[in-house]
Amino acid sequence: MSDTSILKVAVNVPLSTAFDYRPLAGTPLPEPGARVLVPFGRRQQVGLVLEHADSSEIPLEKLRRCSQLLDARPLLSANDLWLIRFTSDYYHHPIGEVAATALPALLRHGKALHPKVEMVAITSAAATADFESLRRRAPKQAELLELLVDAGDGGMDADLLTETLPNWRRVAKALREKGLLSGFESRAPDYDERIVAEKAADHELNAGQSDALKSLRTSDAFAAFLLDGVTGSGKTEVYLHRMRDVIDRGLQVLVLVPEIGLTPQLVDRLRARLGIEPVLLHSGLSDIARLSAWRAARSGAARLIVGTRSAIFTPLPNAGLIIVDEEHDHSFKQQEGLRYSARDLAIAKAKHLDIPIILGSATPTLEMLQHCRNGGYQHLLLPTRAGDAQPPQVRLIDTIRTPATDGVSEPLGAAIEKHLNAGGQALIFLNRRGFAPTLICNGCGHIAGCQRCDSRLTVHANSKLLRCHHCGATRPLTDTCDECGENVKPLGEGTERLEESLTARFPGHTIKRIDSDSTQRKGSMHAALQSATRGDADILVGTQMLSKGHHFPNLTLVGIVNADQGLFGTDFRSSERMAQSIVQVAGRSGREHRAGEVLIQTAFPDNAFWKTLIDGGYRQISDEALAEREITRWPPYTRLALLRSAATRHADAHRFLDVARRFLANDSSDALRILGPVDAPMARKAGRYRAQLLLQSSDRSTLHHVLRRLRPLLENDATARKVRWSIDVDPIELF
Residues within the interface to ligand ADP (CB under 6 A): 203-206, 209, 229, 231-237, 386-387, 551
Using the contact rule CB under 5 A, the part of the chain among 92-100, 295-303, 467-475, 501-509 near Zn ion is 467-475
Q: How far apart are CA 394 and CA 586, in angstroms?
A: 8
Rg of the chain, C-alpha, whole Å: 28
Please, are residues 583 and 231 in contact by the beta-carbon 8 Å criterion? yes
Q: How far is the CB of 563 from ligand ADP (least distance, A)?
A: 22
What is the dihedral angle through the alpha carbons of 163, 168, 170, 174, rounded to the nearest 10 degrees?
-170
Q: How far is the CB of 492 from Zn ion (least distance, A)?
A: 18
Q: CA-to-CA distance for 273 and 267, rounded, in angstroms? A: 10
Q: Among 306, 317, 304, which residue's Cα sits nearest to residue 245? A: 304
Cβ(247)–Cβ(253) below 8 Å: yes
319 binds, among ligand ADP, Zn ion, none (CB under 5 to 8 A by kind): none
Query: What is the closest distance, in whole angstroms, from the C-beta atom of residue 172 to Zn ion in the complex?
Result: 45
- The 3-class SS string of 500-562 reads HHHHHHCCCCCEEEECCCCCCCCCHHHHHHHHHHHCCCCEEEECHHHCCCCCCCCEEEEEECC
Give the one entry of Zn ion, ligand ADP, none that residue 206 binds, where binding means its C-beta sits below a cut-off of 5 to 8 angstroms depending on kind: ligand ADP
Picked from ligand ADP, Zn ion, none, the partner binding residue 203 (CB below 5 to 8 A depending on kind) is ligand ADP
Comparison of 468 and 481: residue with beta carbon closer to Zn ion = 468
In the list ligand ADP, Zn ion, none, the entry touching 341 (Cβ below 5 to 8 angstroms by class) is: none
Say if CB 657 and CB 645 are below 8 A apart.
Answer: yes
Residue 380's binding partner among Zn ion, ligand ADP, none (Cβ under 5 to 8 angstroms by kind) is none
Answer yes or no: are the C-beta atoms of 364 and 325 closer than 8 Å.
no
Q: In the complex with ligand ADP, which residue's Cβ is closer, 207 or 718? A: 207
Task: Report, in Å, the least distance between residue 235 CB and ligand ADP.
Answer: 3
If one asks whether residue 468 binds Zn ion (CB under 5 A), the answer comes out as: yes
Dihedral sign (CA 204, 255, 365, 680) = positive
Q: Which is nearer to Zn ion, 304 or 473 (CB)?
A: 473
Q: Which residues contact 707 (CB under 8 A, 6 or more apart)?
A: 92, 641, 695, 727, 729
Nearer to ligand ADP, 383 or 712 (CB): 383
- Minimum distance of ligand ADP from residue 541's CB (angstroms): 22
CB of 648 to Zn ion, least distance (A): 15
382, 370 in Cβ contact below 8 A? no
What is the size of the binding site for Zn ion (CB under 5 A)?
A: 7
Question: Closest CB to ligand ADP among 37 and 272?
Answer: 272
Spell out the residues 6+ positions from residue 130 whose beta carbon is closer than 8 angstroms to its own: none
Residue 215 vs 455, nearer CB to Zn ion? 455
Query: Which of residues 135 and 475 has its CB atom nearest to Zn ion in the complex?
Result: 475
DSSP state string for 471-494: T--EEE--SB-TTT--BEEEES--
Beta carbon nearer to Zn ion, 151 or 471: 471
Q: How far is the CB of 21 from Zn ion (least distance, A)?
A: 43
Site track for Zn ion across 416-455, x = CB under 5 A:
----------------------------------x-xx--
Q: Report helix, strand and coil shares of the chain as percent, to nearest 5.
A: 35, 25, 40
166 touches, from ligand ADP, Zn ion, none (C-beta below 5 to 8 Å by class) = none
Query: Which does residue 235 touch among ligand ADP, Zn ion, none (CB within 5 to 8 A, set by kind)?
Result: ligand ADP
469 near Zn ion, judged by CB under 5 A: no
* Closest CB to ligand ADP among residues 591, 629: 591
* Residue 542 interaction partner, one of Zn ion, ligand ADP, none, beta carbon < 5-8 Å per kind: none
Could you give the count of Cα atoms lying within 13 Å of 25 in the half-sphere of its Cβ?
2
Kindly give the residue spans of alpha helices, DSSP state H, lying in 326-442: 342-353, 366-374, 410-421
- Candidates 119-127, 389-397, 462-470, 625-633; binding stretch for Zn ion (CB under 5 A): 462-470
Contacts 24+ apart (CB under 8 A), 461-464: 461/434, 461/435, 461/490, 461/496, 461/497, 461/500, 462/435, 462/496, 462/517
User: Pick from ligand ADP, Zn ion, none: which does 452 bind, CB < 5 to 8 A by kind?
Assistant: Zn ion
C-alpha span between 308 and 331 (Å, rounded):
8
Q: Is 471 in the site for Zn ion (CB under 5 A)?
A: yes
For 264-276, the three-class secondary structure string (H helix, E strand, C coil) is HHHHHHHHHHHCE
Bridge partners, 280 (sequence order): 306
Q: In angstroms, rounded to a whole number, what is the distance separating the alpha carbons of residues 648 and 645?
A: 10
Decide which of ligand ADP, Zn ion, none touches 471; Cβ closer than 5 to 8 Å per partner kind: Zn ion
Say which entry of ligand ADP, Zn ion, none residue 470 contacts (CB below 5 to 8 A, set by partner kind). Zn ion
Among the candidate windows 464-472, 631-639, 640-648, 716-724, which touches Zn ion by CB under 5 A? 464-472
Nearer to ligand ADP, 349 or 591 (CB): 591
Least Å distance between CB 460 and ligand ADP? 34
Residue 73's φ and ψ, nearest 5 degrees, are: -120, 150
CB-wise, 231 or 719, nearer to ligand ADP? 231
SS3 assignment for 411-460: HHHHHHHHHHHCCCEEEEECCCCCCECEEEECCCCCECECCCCCCECEEE
Residue with Cβ nearer ligand ADP (170 or 217): 217
- Confirm or reject binding of residue 470 to Zn ion (CB under 5 A): yes
Which residues between 358 and 417 bind Zn ion (CB under 5 A)?
none
543 vs 538: CA distance, rounded Å? 17
- What does the binding site for Zn ion look like in residue numbers (CB under 5 A)? 450, 452-453, 468, 470-471, 473
